[in-house]
Structure 1
Amino acid sequence: MTATVESRDGGSGSSAGADAAGTGTGTTAAPSVTPTVRAFLKRRRAWIVIAAVLVLGAFIVMAIQGGARTPGPPLAADNPAPGGAKALVEVLRDHGVDVTEARSFDAALGAADGTATVLLYDEYGILDERRLTEISEAAERLVVVEPGFTALETLAPGVRFAGAASGPIDDVACDLGPAERAGSLSDGQRLVTVDDSAIDAGWHGCFRDGDFGFAVAAGQSPSGGDVTIVGSTTVFANESITEAGNAALAIGLTGASDRLVWYLPGPGDADAADAPTLAELTPGWVSPVMVLAIIVVIVAGVWQGRRFGPLVAERLPVNVPAGETSTGRARLYARTAARTHALDQLRIATVIRIARTLRLPRSAGVDEVTEAAARATGRDGAAVHRLLADDLPADDRALVDLAAALAELEAAVQRSLDPRSAQLDDRDDPTGRRP
């Protein structure tokens, strides 16, 4: 079987060489396979369009975010946006209050100096217990806006979160001067509760929202400093300070001293020594799973990384003769007993050569080639079709016979177009009829 397949493919290679020689072109330069810029862009135009759309979308998102971004952080003293507090700060300065914007914990601690009011808005809960205690001791009065859990536990034990207010609040419910002057607060307040232990320590709530809690709580910290808890930034923000009695309460709390330290902690104020390590943040099951995954990867690499043989250094380009390729392919077909696949390759090559010999168009199908070959050779069309498409080899012997039949059919088609064959047939048959 192998010899037959090799002879067919080898014959094809010889015919191709003869055709090339018959053209008389001689030795020609190999065409360039490096794509031009135009071909590269044409082939990848879909990806280029997708990339352009993504880039354009990114620019649009950046433009929208840039236009919507506030000029500064929420409740910043120099932020004129709706969430900032520049309006309050400017009013305080107009009334002679010296407002200092502290950008760090050390700056706030130094500016307080035991004689100033400190407004603390720790949005992300950066300060720990030690620093909260230090800032309360350094301030004459401390106003804490929207405190976190740590701030409440450290500065106001017994004061707890109680959710959001149901609406505007007009029940002052305390004798705190700024609260009495304000009289009411707008909607959007957050509430706290004051338990019995906090009441015993001197804490009291202002602006009661029914039985839910208070919008403001005032008292003394464990260190003895005056502390006022304001549950929401609504009282100080530019967009809502003019509603109800928000402005009166904000000015009364922050303007009680001649000096005000406006302190918004930043990432640099976090105590790195108290920050949890990566090992502390990692769940306990992660380390065993990582060790197991590393072992599995190593075992899989050893298992699948078997070497197939020594590396072969070969200079490129490599020209592989057609006969050598055909021989190797035939040996693979023979080794795997792929008779049907081998026969398909022989049939495809035979159909292509017959179509080329009979000058059929490249789009001609197997049926058209079968009909043309039957007319040219005088054979039965059904038999030719079975030979080119239908018959399947049951064993190697049948494959060899079909390969020989294909070669005979191709030779018959070539003889039918050779005038000398017709003359020989005429001498053998006086009638001049083709067999």
Structure 2
Amino acid sequence: MNGVREAAPSATAADPGRAAAPAITPGVRGALRRGRTWIVVAVALLAGALVLVVLQGAVRGPGAPLAADNPAPAGAQALARVLVDRGVEVQQVRSLDAALAAARGGATVFLHDDLGVLDRERIAELAATAETIVVARPDFAALEVLAPGVRFAGAAEGAPEPASCDLAAAERAETLSGGQQLLSIGDDADASGFTGCFASGDGFAVVTGPSPDGADIVLVGAVTPFANETIDRAGNAALAIGLLGTRDELVWYLPGPGDADAADAPTLAELTPGWVSPVLVLLVVVTIAAGVQRGRRFGPLVVEDLPVHVRASETGEGRARLYARSAARGRSLDQLRIGTIRRLAAVLRLPRSAEVDAVVAAIADTTGRPAASVRALLVDAEPRGDRDLVDLARGLAELERAVHSSIEPHAASGAPHRTGAGPGGPHPIGADPTGMDPTGRRP
């Protein structure tokens, strides 16, 4: 339409001697080849995530460390079950209030603060209430409150020496396995009555004595005598059972998040270095400036003549290549359909504003084809592959020939030509009446 001629849908039909162009629509193999870099990165990330999950599952088992109901290697379910079989009532609690309530009844308190949740005030409150407290791997706060003068002394090299103290549970255990953490007894602690068992160098694996509040304190430097994976080594089980099974009731206290003092926790500003805030402000300013610079408008578009002449066919071929590379079969077919509808509407003397249904009805009346099949060809049919796209393009070309054949039967075998009046006599429609071809050259 508008004096512009569009290329025929099939190049081989117009030029039988011309070889068909190879299809360049990307297939699955081509897509995988182009995206192999990202595929390798995705596979590497997935493999790394799986390895991390496996390692975390192997290193850190389910449940809290040293929990009475945790069957993992770091748990203590084996010890808890043995104590229950011996008639000890084991009550596992995760709050200080529950531990204090049970301690008031005379129960032994087993404390393991793996995350260091308890502060000094809460530890002192527990020591003032309980009669006997067994602490596995105490932290600095527990040592300062429960056993002033007792300090950390590193790890034992190999198994510590046999027990040589008055603690009954240590005497029954006789020896402990390797992997023990040591505690040293200073002059203040020695004067207060603290003694050590299972010596190794200047430290002891177990330290016992009275707290400032009068409670009997037993400090075990490591969790090795209580954990599932090491309780069956040497005399670990005998020591753990002897320490926790002296009374009928045992409070298994693992402090939870609710026991932490939020008022004493450092704020975000206290944890953040001083240079972080200026850097954040600078980053915000730079981000806004970059957004303004990249998003600024360059003004309205200016129409400028190209320094060279570009044929319309080159633009069409370039767009066709882009459609083929992106496998945009639907868009390619839409362009062919739009051109076909416009040309047929002009041939059938329909107005430019005519709707597609009106064009379909006119084509059906002219060719005698069912309106449903004409509409399927012009609108409804969707290409599912390259073969469908080629078949539909051929169908559009055949439909144009059928319309021209119905209007001018003598032109059925060739390109549709209609004569019209103009300067110099009749001339084919679509040709320049001046006798010049589209390039401006005279014949």
| TM tier relative to shorter chain | 0.5 to 0.7
Give 2:121's aligned residue: 130
Give 1:89's aligned residue: 80
Give 1:325's aligned residue: 306
Give 1:103's aligned residue: 94
Distance 1:56 1:166 in 2: 38
Given that 1:170 and 1:183 are in contact with CA atoms closer than 8 Å, whether structure 2 keeps it comes out as no
Give 1:221's aligned residue: 211
Distance 2:41 2:52 in 1: 16
Give 1:153's aligned residue: 144
The correspondence of residues 249-328 of structure 1 with structure 2, limited to 5 A, is 249-295=239-285, 307-309=297-299, 324-326=305-307
Give 2:171's aligned residue: 180
Give 2:232's aligned residue: 242
The correspondence of residues 29-428 of structure 1 with structure 2, limited to 5 A, is 41-42=31-32, 44-46=34-36, 47-48=38-39, 50-52=41-43, 54-55=45-46, 58-59=49-50, 62=53, 65-66=56-57, 70-210=61-201, 212-295=202-285, 307-309=297-299, 324-326=305-307
Distance 2:32 2:291 in 1: 41
Distance 1:69 1:285 in 2: 36
Shift of 1:43: 6.4
Name the Cα RMSD after superposition. Answer: 3.8
Give 2:357's aligned residue: none
Cα deviation 1:258-303 (Å, max 9, x = unaligned): 1001122233432222211101111223233334444555666677
The 3 A distance-change label for structure 1 pair 303 and 109 is same
The 3 A distance-change label for structure 1 pair 328 and 229 is farther
Shift of 1:60: 6.1
- What letter matches 2:298 in structure 1? F
Shift of 1:254: 0.6
Given that 2:109 and 2:134 are in contact with CA atoms closer than 8 Å, whether structure 1 keeps it comes out as yes
Given that 2:60 and 2:74 are in contact with CA atoms closer than 8 Å, whether structure 1 keeps it comes out as no
- What letter matches 1:134 in structure 2? E
Distance 1:173 1:108 in 2: 32
Shift of 1:104: 2.9
Cα deviation 1:112-132 (Å, max 9, x = unaligned): 234111111111211111221
Distance 1:124 1:112 in 2: 22
Distance 1:134 1:150 in 2: 13
Distance 1:270 1:259 in 2: 26
Instruction: Could you tell me which runs of 5 or more consecutive residues in structure 2 were left unpaired when the two chains were aligned.
Output: 1-5, 15-24, 311-443
Distance 1:156 1:209 in 2: 20
Count how many residue pairs are aligned between Structure 1 and Structure 2. 296
In terms of fraction of residues, the more helix-rich structure is 1
TM-score, normalised to structure 2, is 0.57
The 3 A distance-change label for structure 1 pair 73 and 45 is same
Given that 2:183 and 2:203 are in contact with CA atoms closer than 8 Å, whether structure 1 keeps it comes out as yes
Aligned-partner SS, 1:160: strand
TM-score, normalised to structure 1, is 0.58
Aligned-partner SS, 1:251: helix
- What letter matches 2:187 in structure 1? D
Shift of 1:225: 1.6
Given that 1:114 and 1:140 are in contact with CA atoms closer than 8 Å, whether structure 2 keeps it comes out as no
Shift of 1:205: 1.8
